[in-house]
Amino acid sequence: MHNYSAFIQQKTTINIPTGIGHADALDYNPMMFPFQHDIVKWALKRGRACIWSGCGTGKTIMELEWARHVSEYTNKPVLIFAPLAVSEQTANEEAPKFNYDCRIVSCQKEVRKGINITNYEKMEKFNLDQFGGVVLDEAGIIKHQAGKIRNMIIDRTKNVSFRLGCTATPAPNDFMEIGNHAEFVGAMKYREMLSMFFVHDGGDTAKWRLKGHAKKAFFKWVAQWAVVLRKPSDLGYSDDGFELPELRVHQIVTETEAQDGFLFPVEACTLQERLGARRDTVYDRVKAACRIIEKNKSDKNRLWCVWCNLNVEAESMQKARHGMINIQGSDSNEVKTERLLGFARGEIDEIVSKSKIAGFGMNMQNCHNTIFLGLSDSYEQYYQAVRRFWRFGQKEVVNVYIVTSDIDGNVRDNIERKERDAETIYNEMVYCMKEINAENIKGSQRTASDYQPKEKIMVPSFI
């Protein structure tokens, strides 16, 4: 019976810790909340782990504390990769606030022992084998299974002993992104995860569905190397200081004149028609956005961020609002960084930009009014853009104005559907991993087989 139990134990999917065994005895930053302290301690024990923590729950201080201990333990520098402008905000504003020395670097020769931070765009300028640990800030950047950055990150960090991936959105639309995180931390290859826990959904080989009977085993496996929480109470801690303010979403629809030969405006259906509709209604939507700002502008409502998807939308908005700064793709990284930080510090009152440029990683709680000059089909971009303002630490009611035209098609319904789907998936992840994560983080989890023998096995006499 002992041998059979060992055989069952051998078949379970176990990710062995490779980190700091004496993490319990280390000195931790007293500015951390209890849940942050315990998560960092757990991640140090793991060695290679993911922290999927809601916006404003303190991923930055957890990253910095983890990096500090890894650097001291390995006697090597640690490198944090972050989105544009986030590295400057982390090193110059967040790190000093929590008493960390974090150095901004642009190439290998600038690296010093301790905590270093740079942008993802500069990854090729570093020899990652020289680092004791690597941190991915906004680790959702590896979500695309065939993406260049994803493959580069996984390939170039495979020899790094300590790895940490941090994001608020590990799987905004499905579970597939989890496979990339698993591969980054060395828990399992992406394709191995699919074959073990998923099946093809119908004839579409690009769509995978979690096997019903494998759900418990899947989340138990993920919980070995990842922790997920939206708020501290998800792990059994107090939510004091982590209450979100009210979020008010305002829908504004501009009216369009009917085309020749039609009694009513014709709603766009195809992608090409929606693009044409957006171009044709730029003036009306910009005019509506300007009215919103003028109507609500005050000392308290001084800061405004407008999100767009087309260059013509940003250019038109900038022309209509004297003093509004357009942060665009053609700007140099230095200019983008300077303007983003200027807005985050309150030195610039109004900006217009695309979510893929300014919507990831930045802390902008000083602003609580934002306008979407139309919507794209990307829920993740919408979610991240809203979360720059609506996050723990925000003290004001956050107003989100969505300005669309009556011929924009069903893009708003599509975003709302994706939002419901993402919420369902995230709730399921939290629910399924809550107990395991809480036990892991608080140090009482043990790895054991679920097999409970009820009867003795009769072994044939010839064996």
How many residues in total does the chain contain? Answer: 463
Of residues 383 and 459, more confidently modeled: 383
Q: Is residue 212 located within the same domain as residue 116?
A: yes
Q: Which of 100-109, 202-211, 250-259, 369-378 has the lowest mean pLDDT?
A: 202-211
Same domain as 274, residue 146 = no
pLDDT of residue 459: 55
Whole-number average pLDDT of the chain: 85
Tens digit of each residue's pLDDT (9 = 90 or more) over 347-400: 999 999 999 898 888 899 999 999 999 887 788 888 889 999 999 889 999 999
Query: How high is the pLDDT of residue 27?
Result: 97
User: Which tens digit of pLDDT belongs to each residue from 151-161?
Assistant: 899 999 999 99
Tell me the whole-structure pTM to 2 decimals: 0.83
Q: How confident is the model at residue 18 (pLDDT cuts 50, 70, 90)?
A: confident
Would you say residue 209 has pLDDT above 80? Answer: no
- pLDDT score of 450: 44
Burial (CB count within 10 angstroms: exposed 0-12, middle 13-18, buried 19+), residue 234: buried
Domain assignment present for 433: no
Choose among 424, 416, 421, 327: nearest CA to 377.
416
Q: Measure CA 376 to chain center.
A: 19
DSSP 259: P
CATH code of the domain in which 49 resides:
3.40.50.10810
Per-residue pLDDT of 311-332, as tens digits, reads 999 999 999 998 999 999 999 9
Taking the C-alpha atoms of residue 369 and residue 400, their distance in angstroms, rounded to an integer, is 6
Name the residue with higher pLDDT: 273 or 253: 253
* One domain, residues 97 and 68: yes
Dihedral pair phi/psi, residue 97, rounded to 5°? -60, -30
Do residues 253 and 342 share a domain?
yes
Return the percentage of the chain with pLDDT > 90, whole number: 55
Task: Verify that 222 and 260 share a domain, yes or no.
Answer: no
**Per the domain annotation, does 327 fall within a domain?**
yes
- Are 215 and 269 members of one domain? no
Which of 241, 273, 306 marks a domain boundary?
241
* Number of domains the chain contains: 2
**Statement to judge: residues 38 and 52 lie in one domain:** yes
Q: Are residues 302 and 395 in the same domain?
A: yes
Q: Kindly write down the DSSP assignment for every residue of 109-150, as one continuous string.
A: GG--SSEEEEEGGGGGGS-GGG-SEEEEETGGGG--TT-HHH
Q: Do 260 and 186 have their domain in common?
A: no
In this predicted structure, the answer to whether residue 203 has a pLDDT above a threshold of 60 is no
Does 179 lie in the same domain as 144? Answer: yes
Considering the domain boundaries, does residue 164 fall inside one? yes
d(CA 18, CA 14): 12
Q: Which amino acid is at 252?
A: I
Residues 193, 130 share a domain: yes
Give the end of a domain, one of 241, 256, 277.
241
Q: Are residues 156 and 196 in the same domain?
A: yes
pLDDT of residue 145: 52
Residue 382 lies in a domain: yes
Q: Which domain holds residue 196?
A: 10-241
pLDDT at res. 84: 86
Residue 362: exposed, middle, or buried by beta-carbon count in 10 A (0-12, 13-18, 19+)?
A: buried
| Digit-coded pLDDT (tens) for 239-268 | 998 989 999 999 999 887 655 444 445 455
**Structural domain includes residue 426:** no
Domain assignment of residue 428, yes or no: no
- In order of 1, 3, 221, 222, 446, the CA distances from 7 in angstroms are 10, 6, 18, 22, 18
From 241, 268, 294, the end of a domain falls on 241
1 located within any domain: no
Question: In this structure, is residue 50 part of a structural domain?
Answer: yes
CA 436/CA 438 separation, integer angstroms: 5
The CATH number assigned to the domain holding 297 equals 3.40.50.300
Mean pLDDT of 25-39: 96
Average pLDDT for 336-355: 95
How many Cα atoms are found within 13 Å in the side-chain-facing hemisphere of 249?
9
Q: Which residue has the higher pLDDT, 223 or 206?
A: 223
